[in-house]
């Protein structure tokens, strides 16, 4: 079943760059035209690679913009610090869109799938991103030289399992941003006592008629 997409009023009258720029502004992000084109180039590359590799189940272009690009950008305001890890990045979401909008930050995109990491490295190069490193490993198997300032994970695993994955990447000041659909109260209640929830924020993604929330965790 294809994901439901709510068409924003006037979307059909805007070209893709203007539509993405407008919707990013709703999220509080000012996109330059070159950056909007970089984001759309990621989708072009993803569509091309997806013909040979199963990188995403979302193939309709408008749904890709909403469910991948805008969904990724919805957590932009919650990033902290200079170094960001994206665990279970898949085809580069949310890491690559966030890297476009945060050139001053360093992004390490981690995934256990070799083909997805190859795509991420390729897409980063095509997009001209110099602040991205793609790592082929499991999150719990990666030992960074220093804890990351922020760790993001998009629909990776239930929270009790997710914190096991990201624990080696975290120090006492690391902020973990877990992107979820509905508020996961049962998962929050099952978190180990060594982790605390700093907040749960509702995310409003332009054009997406589905619940999204962000669980902010700290060790």
Contact predicate 163/195, CB 8 Å = yes
| Predicted pLDDT of residue 3 | 45
| Predicted pLDDT of residue 2 | 40
pLDDT averages per 10-residue partition of the chain, 219 residues: 44 83 97 97 96 91 96 98 97 98 98 96 98 93 94 95 96 97 97 97 94 97
Q: Do the bridges between strand 213-218 and strand 175-180 make them parallel or antiparallel, or are there none, so unpaired?
A: antiparallel
Q: φ and ψ at 90, to 5 degrees?
A: 65, -120
Domains of the chain: 12-218 (3.40.50.150)
| Residue 144 bridge partners (DSSP) | none
| Predicted pLDDT of residue 1 | 36
C-alpha distances (whole Å) from 194 to each of 167, 179, 190, 201 are 11, 20, 11, 21
What is the pTM assigned to this prediction?
A: 0.91
H-type alpha helices, the chain: 16-26, 33-50, 61-64, 71-73, 95-101, 114-126, 159-166, 185-189
């Amino acid at each position: 079943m294809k994901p439901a997409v709510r068409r924003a009023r006037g979307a059909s009258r805007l070209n893709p760059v203007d539509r993405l720029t407008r919707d990013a502004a709703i999220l509080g992000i000012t996109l330059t035209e070159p950056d909007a084109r970089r984001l759309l180039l990621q989708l072009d590359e993803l569509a091309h690679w997806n013909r040979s590799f199963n990188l995403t189940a979302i193939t309709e272009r408008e749904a890709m913009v909403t469910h991948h690009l805008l969904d990724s950008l919805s957590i932009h305001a919650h990033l902290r610090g200079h170094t960001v890890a994206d665990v279970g990045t898949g085809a580069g979401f949310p890491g690559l869109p966030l890297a476009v909008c945060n050139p001053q930050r360093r992004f390490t995109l981690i995934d256990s799938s070799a083909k997805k990491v190859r795509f991420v490295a390729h897409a980063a190069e095509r997009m001209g991103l110099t602040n991205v490193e793609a790592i082929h490993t499991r999150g719990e198997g990666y030992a960074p030289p220093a804890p990351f300032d922020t760790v993001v994970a998009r629909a990776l695993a239930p929270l009790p399992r997710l914190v096991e994955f990201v624990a080696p990447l975290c120090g006492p000041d690391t902020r973990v941003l877990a992107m979820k659909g509905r508020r996961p109260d049962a998962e929050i209640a099952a978190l180990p006592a060594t982790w605390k929830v700093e907040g749960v924020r509702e995310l409003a993604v332009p054009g997406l008629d589905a619940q999204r929330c962000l669980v902010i965790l700290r060790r």
